[in-house]
Structure 1
Amino acid sequence: MAYAFPLPWGKRVTTALPTLDPSWGENVTENAPAATEAFRAARDFLLAHREDYDTAYKGFRWPELTEFNWALDWFDVIAADGSPTAGRTALWIVEEDGSETKLSFADLSARSHQVAAWLRHHGVRRGDRVLLLLGNIAPLWETMLAAIKLGAVIIPATTLLSPADLRDRIERGNVRHVITSSDNAGKFDEVPGDYTRVAVGQPVAGWLRYEDAYQSVLGFEPEEPTRADDPLLLYFTSGTTAKPKLVEHTHASYPVGHLSTMYWIGLRPGDVHLNISSPGWAKHAWSCVFAPWNAEATVLVFNYARFSAPQLLEVMARCGVTTFCAPPTVWRMLIQEDLSAWQVPLREVVGAGEPLNPEVIEQVQRAWGITIRDGYGQTETTAQVGNTPGQPVKLGSMGRPLPGYTVALIDPVTDRPAREGEICLDLGARPLGLMTGYQDDPERTADATRGGYYHTGDVGSVDEEGYITYVGRADDVFKASDYRISPFELESVLIEHEAVAEAAVVPSPDPVRLAVPKAYVVLAPGHEPTTETAFSILKYARENLAPYKRVRRLEFAELPKTISGKIRRVELRQQEQSRQGSGAPRRGAREFWEEDFPELKG
């Protein structure tokens, strides 16, 4: 079988599978490790079939790796002298004031070597836990690469964490080293522990100065090979329903596992990729580190203090962004602007974090003539499901299983595959991008992997063509009048109303129906929380939802969220239970019920 495709500089090459793609094969040095070749072969197969989902899904195989260090065996290889990628911009950080930082692949390879040697000199050893609390500044990427080279275990953390959060991470993560910015160093005054302290920026008393690494003349050589199954990353989840879990990934599961993410986004060599995500969360590693650099693309970061849709659009146009990923919250803010006023060279746009509402997809399509493609994954995995390039997109669906993932929907009653059920991964064909487990929590790990499946805790439905539609978190789906209700489905209708910016639907206890759908609503600019607004929204819901799905109660309120921005419906459910669960029902200060409007009865 042969395939043909354009090279980055316009040539066309025809070759036979499984020969490596010659457009990127030039990056391989003569002495490249076998692991590099295996990784490249898997990657090039996906690049060659970027818009041929059926071939990619059926033909893709995860590379079999015994020893693999992504920073040494991949990044340094494509950054080596003589590689076409070496001089290409790897990291491009744009500040709000217009200033920029640009580092090539060769720059980052050399800097991370210096940082790795300097950290080793100060006691960082293979297997040591390193808490990384940095914003979108170059040392974040330098340190990630350096830690991978050392074989240290990285615990990424958001700068929004409080001292109490940091104490939890230091203790449960068994942290031995902390690297943070000077302006965040003070948070650790209240965090006891015998750990190395490294500060980026202005000197801090008692802390090592990160910038000294740039003056280091120490050479770096790995002390021993890195096993592919050695631990690399420990992620604290955002805790939408409970105390954050500690997720463990290896040198294979995230760096190599994100080949699926690269495929979903549609990245290719030479792209300029912009992802809206905060450091410290898994999605930042997904789309600001591994997926774009697997593709030899540029990571573009707009480092803003306060989000501004017009400013973001200006950066996208000026910097020539070709691929873009943003969470639904950002997409909802972007469509408040006249998108057609910005000429952006986008080829691929995707959304992740929570499901995208069809209304958002339709508005972007009208403005830019390009379809946002939804995708799905978790901190515990890489991208599992997605609408992939060149394939039909069904509004409301998050797509089909991605190459390397075998997905089943399991009925919670029968424990058998069904048309609707919990989204699970078949462990008989265990995907490389799946975590090894929850650190120091064998019971939770066993529960998540029971019955031969990894259980995501999310519910979906699948159609005849294999497209999966998100229904909701298993904990969020509820019954009203004996009908199963998907909060996401109702929320998608509500945000189509011009007055609604965000909505969260939860069950509100009811003596007759068991529960009725209630919406907590955040209003769009220019709308007030009046009786008239409530009537308009409830009337719209009545006209656009089946009777059993109708939103019957509404409250104007801010939505409780995790520090990563995900809605904590569990808090709203608990609030409703406490208000309506016993005694006389109580309402919020800005709450309205259908019964308040005679016109809506029936």
Structure 2
Amino acid sequence: MTTGATEAFRAARDFLLEHREDQPTACRDFPRPDPTEFNWALDWFDVIARGNDTTALWIVAEDGTDTKVSFDELARRSDRVAGWLRARGVRRGDRVLLVLGNRVELWEAMLAAMKLGAVIIPATTMLAPADLTDRVTRGDVAHVIAESAVTPGFAEVPGAWTRIAVGEPTPGWLSFAAAHDGSDGHDADAVFVPDGPTAATDPLLLYFTSGTTAQPKLVGHTQTSYPIGHLSTMYWLGLRPGDTHLNISSPGWAKHAWSNFFAPWNAGATILIVRQERFAARPLLDTMVRCGATSFCAPPTVWRMLVQEDLGAWRTALREVIGAGEPLNPEVIEQVRTAWGLTIRDGFGQTETTAQIGNAPGQEVRPGSMGRPLPGYTVALVDPISGEVVTGTDAEGEICLELAARPLGLMTGYLDDPERTAESMRHGFYHTGDVGTRDADGYITYVGRSDDVFKASDYRISPFELESVLIEHEAVAEAAVVPSPDPVRLAVPKAYVVLAPGHEPTRETALSVLRHARAVLSPYKRVRRIEFAELPKTISGKIRRVELRGRERELHDGDQAGRGELEWFEEDFPELKGN
């Protein structure tokens, strides 16, 4: 049923589609929807889905088998699931933990829970039992919908929560399949009727962040902050009705909701999923071509693996290529441009928000920059010491969002943590914790997390800048730069390096990488130590630099003789002197 909220949402969406290559106008004149009542599954998805036989969801299994579900089918299937969940006790405001992989039931359950007004807590299937206990306990979970294969992990999780298994029959768990086949006596053909309107400010999503430095925070979003807020993400990705969008991210993380749920369906595009137990570049590229993907978004780790292949051998239908999660190094962007004639467009956002900053389609992409503010966001750079807004050319400061007109896609706060919420929203700004610079034309370049930037010999060092130089070397697949304690300089830049295939962790390789860095970087920025090692990462794939910094303190603080197994200092190479 079309409502006033539906029409306001449609007007905003259509405005962004009309101005998809005019970012300044899109930001300046964006007709921000501000409904008092809104339920995205009912007021948007169902409206565009009823009678629409276009493919909404296309899942390609590892063996190449296709599963396609139309918009109309998903609307009807999610209705059945909503009715069945209601009969099993799911009520408005109840918290539902979803522990599902990329399978149709995930999208059915998401839509169904939204239609009921329930609060969704997405989670990855890779969580350990202790993590599941944390989710259920801190999340105050009333119902769990999980893949049968992961149900043993809940054996010791306390509570009287409803157990619903997806897949093989599981003793003690209800079968999700009964929602469709009526095997438990439920009338699968019953018409679903919402129990009432949904307030726009009602909670919709709770996300446990990946926790690179501490216990995961629990981020709260409303019925509008993610659904309507992700119009900015749709705009950044450059999605249009009829597109086929392929995104690489795992269920349970915010980026999955960004690019595998809200943004594509805000546009009326098809979501393409390629299931892989372990990432494999060639099968992914083959499927991308076969399925005619028109847009592709992936994190830097995936892009770095893709460029190890001869990308030019795959003739894709891609119009848009996007990088997300962490800044993408210029060398990778250039390799993709050479192979496909397309420029990877970077962007910036957080679990706490939708896409805040990005290079939208049709805009000049400046090397190293992640773009300009997106519709719905006003970005300021704030001096982390004085708290003053930094202006002028080449200004540097913490990336913050002005709260005078609250950003459309901003979280409500951190659940049950008013102090942390207040700290992040202090002095009229939401503080991202990330540092950036801004040029005269408003382009923002990422410098690093405020706690990752460090000083060496009293010079300010951006790890990302050094990592971008290192990855240009043919032997370097990934790199992470952290401060290493030094008795003279206080700290020196040290690079942890993951080698590309075909390269060995030898003295010769270390010398070659250090020579390359010295040839490009200013003397005060030089990488002075290098170690070949795997990089510790969060379960969502982000590098845990905090762990590397701690290791450095253990190795070198007060004992400069400490070394990693495959570590070299610049002093080990007399041939570098004078260079």
Q: Which TM-score band applies after superposition, normalised by the shorter structure?
A: over 0.9
From 331, 334, 347, the equivalent of 2:303 is: 331
Give the whole-Å Cα distance in 2 for the aligned partners of 1:454 and 1:204.
Answer: 45
Question: Percent identity, aligned pairs only?
Answer: 72
Match of 1:426 in 2: 402
Match of 1:65 in 2: 35
Contact 2:132 2:157 in 1 (8 A): yes
SS in 1 for 2:322: strand
From 146, 155, 165, the equivalent of 1:180 is: 146
Match of 1:274 in 2: 246
Match of 1:234 in 2: 206
Contact 1:118 1:218 in 2 (8 A): no
Contact 1:522 1:558 in 2 (8 A): yes
1:340-372 Cα offsets, whole Å, 9 max, x none, are: 111101111100000010001100000000100
SS in 1 for 2:239: coil
Q: Which amino acid aligns with 2:351?
A: T
Matches within 5 A, 1:293-304: 293-304=265-276
Whether 1:347 and 2:323 are equivalent positions in the alignment is no
CA RMSD of aligned residues (A): 0.8
Q: Which amino acid aligns with 2:245?
A: H
Give the whole-Å Cα distance in 1 for the aligned partners of 2:472 and 2:419.
Answer: 42
Match of 1:450 in 2: 426
Match of 1:263 in 2: 235
Give the whole-Å Cα distance in 2 for the aligned partners of 1:601 and 1:411.
Answer: 38
Structure 1 residue 511, shift from structure 2 partner = 1.1
Give the whole-Å Cα distance in 1 for the aligned partners of 2:89 and 2:45.
Answer: 24
Match of 1:164 in 2: 130
Structure 1 residue 537, shift from structure 2 partner = 0.6
1:535-568 Cα offsets, whole Å, 9 max, x none, are: 1111111111000000000011111100000000
Match of 1:106 in 2: 72
Give the whole-Å Cα distance in 1 for the aligned partners of 2:107 and 2:37.
Answer: 23
Whether 1:529 and 2:505 are equivalent positions in the alignment is yes
SS in 2 for 1:574: helix
Give the whole-Å Cα distance in 2 for the aligned partners of 1:267 and 1:439.
Answer: 32
TM-score normalised by length of structure 1: 0.94
Match of 2:547 in 1: 571
Contact 2:11 2:31 in 1 (8 A): no
Contact 1:412 1:422 in 2 (8 A): yes
Give the whole-Å Cα distance in 2 for the aligned partners of 1:365 and 1:560.
Answer: 30
Give the whole-Å Cα distance in 1 for the aligned partners of 2:362 and 2:72.
Answer: 33
1:255-293 Cα offsets, whole Å, 9 max, x none, are: 100000000000000000000000000000000000000
Structure 1 residue 580, shift from structure 2 partner = 1.7
From 31, 46, 57, the equivalent of 2:16 is: 46
Contact 2:246 2:272 in 1 (8 A): yes
From 199, 216, 219, the equivalent of 2:165 is: 199
Match of 2:3 in 1: 33
Match of 1:5 in 2: none
Contact 1:70 1:255 in 2 (8 A): yes
Whether 1:306 and 2:309 are equivalent positions in the alignment is no
Structure 1 residue 224, shift from structure 2 partner = 1.2
Match of 2:174 in 1: 208
SS in 1 for 2:101: coil
Structure 1 residue 599, shift from structure 2 partner = 1.6
Match of 2:516 in 1: 540
Give the whole-Å Cα distance in 2 for the aligned partners of 1:234 and 1:557.
Answer: 35
Structure 1 residue 509, shift from structure 2 partner = 0.8
Give the whole-Å Cα distance in 2 for the aligned partners of 1:371 and 1:272.
Answer: 18
Contact 1:508 1:516 in 2 (8 A): yes
Matches within 5 A, 1:383-422: 383-418=355-390, 419-422=395-398
1:417-439 Cα offsets, whole Å, 9 max, x none, are: 22101000000121110000000
Q: Which amino acid aligns with 2:534?
A: E
Give the whole-Å Cα distance in 1 for the aligned partners of 2:150 and 2:554.
Answer: 38
Match of 2:489 in 1: 513
Structure 1 residue 582, shift from structure 2 partner = 2.1
Give the whole-Å Cα distance in 2 for the aligned partners of 1:591 and 1:335.
Answer: 27
SS in 2 for 1:399: strand
Contact 1:61 1:404 in 2 (8 A): no
TM-score normalised by length of structure 2: 0.97
From 565, 568, 571, the equivalent of 1:592 is: 568
Contact 1:239 1:562 in 2 (8 A): yes
Match of 1:8 in 2: none
Give the whole-Å Cα distance in 1 for the aligned partners of 2:559 and 2:232.
Answer: 52
From 325, 332, 344, the equivalent of 1:360 is: 332
Match of 2:185 in 1: none
Q: Which amino acid aligns with 2:206?
A: L
Q: Which amino acid aligns with 1:431?
A: P
Contact 1:47 1:268 in 2 (8 A): yes
Structure 1 residue 584, shift from structure 2 partner = 4.5
Give the whole-Å Cα distance in 1 for the aligned partners of 2:64 and 2:120.
Answer: 31
SS in 1 for 2:67: strand
Q: Which amino acid aligns with 2:34?
A: E
Structure 1 residue 61, shift from structure 2 partner = 3.0
SS in 2 for 1:77: helix
Q: Which amino acid aligns with 1:150?
A: L
Match of 1:247 in 2: 219
SS in 2 for 1:536: helix
Give the whole-Å Cα distance in 2 for the aligned partners of 1:32 and 1:501.
Answer: 50
Gaps of 5+ in 2: 182-187
1:500-529 Cα offsets, whole Å, 9 max, x none, are: 111000000111111100000111111111
Give the whole-Å Cα distance in 1 for the aligned partners of 2:551 and 2:207.
Answer: 29
Q: Which amino acid aligns with 1:79?
A: A
SS in 2 for 1:190: coil
Whether 1:474 and 2:450 are equivalent positions in the alignment is yes
Structure 1 residue 202, shift from structure 2 partner = 1.0
Whether 1:495 and 2:471 are equivalent positions in the alignment is yes
SS in 2 for 1:373: coil
Structure 1 residue 218, shift from structure 2 partner = 3.1
Q: Which amino acid aligns with 2:411?
A: M
Structure 1 residue 134, shift from structure 2 partner = 0.3
Give the whole-Å Cα distance in 2 for the aligned partners of 1:177 and 1:64.
Answer: 31
1:28-47 Cα offsets, whole Å, 9 max, x none, are: xxx51000000000110000
Give the whole-Å Cα distance in 2 for the aligned partners of 1:375 and 1:66.
Answer: 30
Contact 2:486 2:560 in 1 (8 A): no
From 205, 217, 238, the equivalent of 2:189 is: 217
Give the whole-Å Cα distance in 1 for the aligned partners of 2:62 and 2:552.
Answer: 41
Give the whole-Å Cα distance in 1 for the aligned partners of 2:504 and 2:577.
Answer: 24
Match of 2:184 in 1: none
Give the whole-Å Cα distance in 1 for the aligned partners of 2:561 and 2:85.
Answer: 60
Structure 1 residue 92, shift from structure 2 partner = 0.2
Q: Which amino acid aligns with 1:46?
A: L
Give the whole-Å Cα distance in 1 for the aligned partners of 2:156 and 2:566.
Answer: 39
1:232-276 Cα offsets, whole Å, 9 max, x none, are: 000000001111000000110001000000000000000000000
Match of 2:53 in 1: 87
Structure 1 residue 79, shift from structure 2 partner = 1.1
Whether 1:320 and 2:292 are equivalent positions in the alignment is yes
Q: Which amino acid aligns with 1:97?
A: D
Give the whole-Å Cα distance in 1 for the aligned partners of 2:238 and 2:108.
Answer: 25
